[in-house]
Chains A and B, each alone.
Chain A
């Protein structure tokens, strides 16, 4: 630049120059690299998940792990599930991958296991079976691809009905033990102008809740066949399930379909809502949003007429990345994950059931649920979300959402046909 003859442009030049200097300074500072992507200290294994609120739980589990195998956990989180999944896929083959990855079981696990980015951790399951921590064949199958396991269970949740104990007591209602009792409970609540059941899903995955519950409750084997692509969505069991669902809609059992699940605890606390069929992992959300431990209960929904005792199970997955910087350490962590001391520390935070039936956190609702499961020994079905190829599920869940807006018999039949058309197409793609 030329030498200036006026003070005016000198100041402007000074401003420009200092801005430039600032930019250079920032670039040269070198402190700009993320603390969590710098190489971790020797005894730290990194873990990537989609839930920032679990950080204290991982820290507690890490402490227990440190005593067992000498490694702690350092958790990183992406707050949005779809962006999380995408980052895992994108980073799996780069230097930016973490040692451990949280994932989903069933077909979602197969989907990434078959592209070869995960480490075989079958040894962890063998060890857990040998030590009597967990020997659950149905669960193990849902972690398998071509006979090998590609993750260990982060938790094992049951889909059961949260219920509002004070409200049940006030209206002198008992936990229903069969379908008729359940309908009577719904009717009694409705008569008192209380929303019987919270049920969102108009724009979320939650629209699968009642579909999976009713199909699996009517005929567990059929549910397994259906989700394995061996039965049709237009078969009588599905039609019957839709009919029951429509009956519940007609009886005024449900909240508005665009109900926001995050507000259920507040509605419970104020006695405006009585029940919520959901994953037991939601217990913590109730307890931290104003519902007292003693006021929250969980029961398994009785099967519809002609049905069987079966429960939907959901399990998060802890996988080891094949490109992990500390592959050996990560495998040791996976092996020790189901150790009761680790599970106790973890589930005390999570307030949910563990894959080890011997570990139950000291929470009323969960204790109640664990006792029911021990007593009834229901068959287990994998949650619909993970039970078929992801593309098929995502599309069908959207169909179910659209159905919830307009729950009529004609729409049910259209919805089932559309789901079957998608199944025909996507199973072909999956198997090719």
Chain B
């Protein structure tokens, strides 16, 4: 596109159909738009969408990773009649609610709070560091803390609160709850940063005007800042929905979905079926269902947003 060297004036973006542009012009405009969109769309279709379609096709087969046999929708029937699937779905819902409430809300609060305190940048760095730490360190850390003979239980015992000791990772739903807290520790920094980016887009005049009107503290936050942050809130919430529905890493590292299948999420069920049990067709069916769930949730949340310009 760098070769196109036009100095021709382009008309202001208007609602289409208002006036019919010339044919050559429309053609050129399409070329421009195509040039801007093509790299992103092409990469995503070739490397992500096509592999997914392959997987979707595979879900119609009984496939052990080496040989396969067509069985129609039998994998889906088996999936919906599997009692573990219900548990897995329930855990996934927990994750969605938990990460919407905690990292998103905390991220917003910390972003606003640290913005108004002199040494806020120090606090922000502290909150962001976990996000930058590698997975192998965080996994070890939380095992350290949460194991039955780990740091939390030892600390409780040493301060005379031995009665509060728990087998944190061994009982449902406690294990899911503590893993959501662990994720909160790691993920809040990310949503905080995004909210900070959003805070920058609020025109200072708006804030000044609001302050002149006597809005302070919570009212300023709720009636001015929150509405102004909307575009970024949509990003944070949208990503949070998607990521929580796909929750995998931390559960895999801490409990492997266990004990039994108690803490499995949909992504773990898919992984176990596909790679531990080598039932590639069945695992593919789980992943198709998971994709539909994520897509549906995102669509519900973003459908009006997506058409905005």
A117 to B147, CA, bound (A): 41
Which chain A residues lie closer than 8 Å to B254 at the CB level?
203
User: Within the complex, what minimum Cβ distance (angstroms) separates A185 from chain B?
Assistant: 22
Contact A115 B67 (CB under 8 A): yes
Q: How many residues on A have C-beta within 8 angstroms of the other chain's C-beta atoms?
A: 33
Contact A402 B143 (CB under 8 A): no
Contact A111 B64 (CB under 8 A): yes
Which chain A residues lie closer than 8 Å to B258 at the CB level?
202-203, 398, 401-402
Q: Is B259 an interface residue (CB 8 A)?
A: yes
Contact of A256 among B167, B171, B260, B276 (CB under 8 A): B167
Q: Is B48 an interface residue (CB 8 A)?
A: no
Contact A2 B5 (CB under 8 A): yes
Contact A258 B170 (CB under 8 A): yes
Contact A112 B260 (CB under 8 A): no
A402 to B84, CA, bound (A): 14
Contact A111 B147 (CB under 8 A): no
Q: Interface-forming stretch among A80-88, A229-237, A276-284? A: A80-88
Contact A390 B278 (CB under 8 A): yes
Which chain B residues lie closer than 8 Å to A93 at the CB level?
66
Q: How many residues on B have C-beta within 8 angstroms of the other chain's C-beta atoms?
A: 32
Which chain A residues lie closer than 8 Å to B272 at the CB level?
394
Q: Is B57 an interface residue (CB 8 A)?
A: no
Which chain A residues lie closer than 8 Å to B278 at the CB level?
85-86, 89, 111, 390-391
- Contact flags A67-111 to B (C-beta < 8 A → 1, else 0): 000000000000000110110011011000000000000000001
Contact A117 B261 (CB under 8 A): no
A270 to B274, CA, bound (A): 41
Closest chain B residue, CB of each to CB of A267: B149
Which chain A residues lie closer than 8 Å to B7 at the CB level?
2
- Contact flags B278-304 to A (C-beta < 8 A → 1, else 0): 110000000000000000000000000
Which of B65, B167, B254, B277 gathers the greatest number of chain A CB atoms within 10 Å?
B65
A120 to B219, CA, bound (A): 77
Closest chain A residue, CB of each to CB of B66: A115
Contact B66 A399 (CB under 8 A): no
Contact B275 A83 (CB under 8 A): yes
Which chain A residues lie closer than 8 Å to B257 at the CB level?
203
Given contacts A115-B64, A258-B148, A260-B143, contact A391 B277 (CB under 8 A): yes
CB contact list, B224-256 vs A, under 8 A: 254-256
Which chain B residues lie closer than 8 Å to A401 at the CB level?
258-260
Q: Is B2 an interface residue (CB 8 A)?
A: yes
A117 to B66, CA, bound (A): 8
User: Within the complex, what minimum Cβ distance (angstroms) separates B241 from chain A?
Assistant: 28
Contact A204 B256 (CB under 8 A): yes
A116 to B133, CA, bound (A): 43
Contact B277 A405 (CB under 8 A): no
Contact B262 A402 (CB under 8 A): yes
Which chain A residues lie closer than 8 Å to B149 at the CB level?
255-256, 259
Which chain A residues lie closer than 8 Å to B261 at the CB level?
398
A202 to B147, CA, bound (A): 11
A391 to B66, CA, bound (A): 16
A115 to B64, CA, bound (A): 9
Closest chain B residue, CB of each to CB of A93: B66
Contact A390 B66 (CB under 8 A): no
Which chain A residues lie closer than 8 Å to B275 at the CB level?
82-83, 85-86
User: Within the complex, what minimum Cβ distance (angstroms) separates B55 from chain A?
Assistant: 13
- Contact flags A109-138 to B (C-beta < 8 A → 1, else 0): 001100111000000000000000000000
Q: Is A151 an interface residue (CB 8 A)?
A: no
User: Within the complex, what minimum Cβ distance (angstroms) separates B149 from chain A?
Assistant: 6
Q: Is B169 an interface residue (CB 8 A)?
A: yes
CB contact list, B162-203 vs A, under 8 A: 167, 169-171
Contact A405 B170 (CB under 8 A): yes
Contact A203 B256 (CB under 8 A): yes
Which of B143, B260, B275 gathers the greatest number of chain A CB atoms within 10 Å?
B260
Given contacts A2-B5, A390-B278, contact A398 B148 (CB under 8 A): no
Q: Is A269 an interface residue (CB 8 A)?
A: no
Contact of B148 among A111, A256, A394 (CB under 8 A): A256
Contact A404 B279 (CB under 8 A): no
Knowing that A85-B275, A202-B169, A203-B256 touch, tell me 10 more A-B residue pairs with CB under 8 angstroms: A83-B275, A93-B66, A111-B64, A115-B64, A116-B66, A202-B170, A256-B148, A259-B147, A394-B276, A398-B260
| Top 5 A-B pairs, shortest CB-CB distance | A256-B148, A402-B260, A115-B66, A89-B65, A203-B258
Q: Can you list 25 A-B pairs, Cβ within 8 angstroms, ordered by A?
A: A82-B275, A86-B65, A89-B64, A92-B66, A111-B64, A115-B67, A116-B67, A202-B259, A203-B169, A203-B255, A203-B258, A203-B259, A256-B147, A256-B167, A257-B148, A258-B147, A258-B148, A258-B169, A390-B277, A391-B279, A398-B258, A399-B260, A402-B258, A405-B167, A405-B259
